[in-house]
Amino acid sequence: MSDWWAEGLLFENCNCTAVCPGHIHFSQKCTHEVCHGFWAIRFDGGRAEEVDLAGVDVVVVYETPQVMVDGGWKQVIIVSDRATAAQRQAVEEILTGARGGPWEILARFVGDARPTRTAPIRIEEAPGRKSVTVKGVLKGAVEAIRGRTRAEPVTFENIYNQIHDTTQVIARGSTRYDDGEIVIANDGTHGLWSHFRWE
């Protein structure tokens, strides 16, 4: 089950102020007693065996303890309702760590994996801004912070993270999410994006 690769856009928002300490390392204390947010994923290319992953949109919503390495994360995967059954299965296997790769590391910390859902997902990308809507449950967006050179984003360079590229654009974000169990209301908090490659 290890024959796969994927690349695309990844952006996130959580309730930490400034940069999420857990983004730097899971052993760092997040801003609040509970860290909650989302990862929005747009697969621009990739294959899992014979399944083409290009064009699939996914959102992973999470809720973690203040020290993320303590584990016990709640997590729900939402796959676009436009994905085929084979694409949904492949993406779920990637994001639960069943296919190995970077998400296998994150899966070790998940203690409450909710059933994978499907829903209409819209991801929009513009210079300096990324947004995602999951019909009926989530609206989220991240906007790049201003740097000294206004035409260029503020970035992390050569930073290690399991799922992001080594170059990441620093942003501020907002989220509204409510599935009846996990509720998120973030404004002006940690955000960033990168273009990933996983295998």
Looking at residue 18, its pLDDT comes to 81
Q: Is residue 8 part of a domain?
A: yes
CB 77 within 8 A of CB 117: yes
pLDDT tens, position by position, 89-109? 999 999 999 999 999 999 999
Instruction: Give the domain range for residue 51.
Output: 4-193
Q: Is residue 14 part of a domain?
A: yes
Written as one string, the DSSP assignment of 116-173 is: PEEE-EEEEEETTEEEEEETTTEEEEEEEPP-SSTTS--EE-S---SSS-SSEEEEEE
Asked if pLDDT for residue 2 goes beyond 80, the answer is: no
Q: Is residue 101 part of a domain?
A: yes
Q: Is residue 149 part of a domain?
A: yes
Q: Is residue 198 part of a domain?
A: no
Looking at residue 1, its pLDDT comes to 58
pLDDT tens, position by position, 51-79? 999 999 999 999 999 999 999 999 999 99
The SS3 assignment for 94 reads helix
Q: Is residue 165 part of a domain?
A: yes
Tokens 């997902």 belong to residue: 121
Looking at residue 24, its pLDDT comes to 86
Asked if pLDDT for residue 12 goes beyond 80, the answer is: yes
Q: Is residue 122 part of a domain?
A: yes
Confidence (pTM): 0.95
pLDDT (average), residues 118-131: 97
Min mean pLDDT across 13-17, 22-26, 125-129, 143-147 is at 22-26
Q: Is residue 80 part of a domain?
A: yes
Domains held by the chain: number: 1
